[in-house]
Amino acid sequence: MNEKIEIKKKVLTKNDEIAAEIRRRLAVKKIVALNMVSSPGSGKTSLLEKTLAAMNDRLNIALIAGDVQTENDAQRLLRAGGRQVRSIVTGGACHLDANMVDKVLEEIDLTGVEVLFIENVGNLVCPSGFDLGEDKKVVLISTTEGDDKPLKYPSMFRRSSALIINKIDLLEYSDFSVDRVRENARSINADLETFEMSCRTGAGLDPWYDWLEAKVAEKKGS
């Protein structure tokens, strides 16, 4: 009996094709690309400011700041010492797409760059479906958002590699439980690496810096 096995090829969307090309280009240059995602206000820009302050001498970092309407975040990153900072103003779109990143990458000199941060538009829904050619998505959640959010926005947590729990300095003012959010997130994605920190006080940031350096070393060895 002949069995016909039908193999359905995934038809790449235009976005996925461009993202794959970005990924290839960044891989050749051994650049770690991180797509930073969260709700508005979780602390993405704050984390990047801290990271620049601590790591700018040790790592060659380029940054893309996506926003719906302003270039405020790019300005903050420049003030924090970012050497190569570009902004993408989506003009209403709730997420970055690979085409936007591709265009702005043309303006960045990637020679010697070790880490490319892409701060996505603040939104836990739309950015999850758009590959930007990154190595990893890093999702932030802050202690004012509620520890049930991984269960409500599973796609984002499923597609992320690391979870940053930010604003732990505010824990005493809320009923947010770090254990519960970690448990909820890991029920969606058991492989998530987690960090707890305060970008205000600086508590808990060292393990993040170590992780970043480890990812750069891994990439160079690849």
- What are the residues binding ligand GDP (CB under 6 A)? 38, 40-46, 122, 166-167, 169-170, 198-200
35, 38, 39, 45: which one binds Mg ion (CB under 5 A): 45
Q: Please name the amino acid found at residue 60.
A: N
Q: What is the DSSP string of 152-205?
A: HSHHHHHH-SEEEEE-GGGGGGS---HHHHHHHHHHH-TT-EEEE--TTT-TT-
147 binds Mg ion (CB under 5 A): no
Binding flag, residue 49, Mg ion (CB under 5 A): no
184 makes contact, choosing from Mg ion, ligand GDP, none, with CB < 5 to 8 Å by partner type, with none
Residue closer to Mg ion, measured from CB, 29 or 40: 40
The answer to the question of residue 73 lying near Mg ion (CB under 5 A) is yes
Complex with Mg ion: residue 44 or 137, whichever CB lies closer: 44
Residues 6+ apart with CB under 8 A from 20: 12, 131, 133
Q: Is 18 left (phi over 0), alpha (psi -120 to 50) or beta?
A: alpha
Element (H, E) at 64: strand 61-67
Mark residues 178-197: x for contact with Mg ion by CB under 5 A, - for none.
--------------------
Nearer to ligand GDP, 202 or 218 (CB): 202
* Residues across the chain: 222
Establish if 39 lies at the interface with Mg ion (CB under 5 A). no
Residue 68 DSSP class: S
87 contact, one of ligand GDP, Mg ion, none, CB 5-8 Å limit per kind: none
- Can you say whether the dihedral through the CA atoms of 144, 149, 152, 155 is positive or negative? positive
Helix (H) / strand (E) element for 125: namely none
Residue 54 CB, shortest distance to ligand GDP, in Å, is 15
Residue 120 sits in the site that holds Mg ion (CB under 5 A): no
* Least CB distance to ligand GDP at residue 17 (A): 29
* Of residues 77-96, those binding Mg ion (CB under 5 A): none
Q: Which is nearer to Mg ion, 40 or 207 (CB)?
A: 40
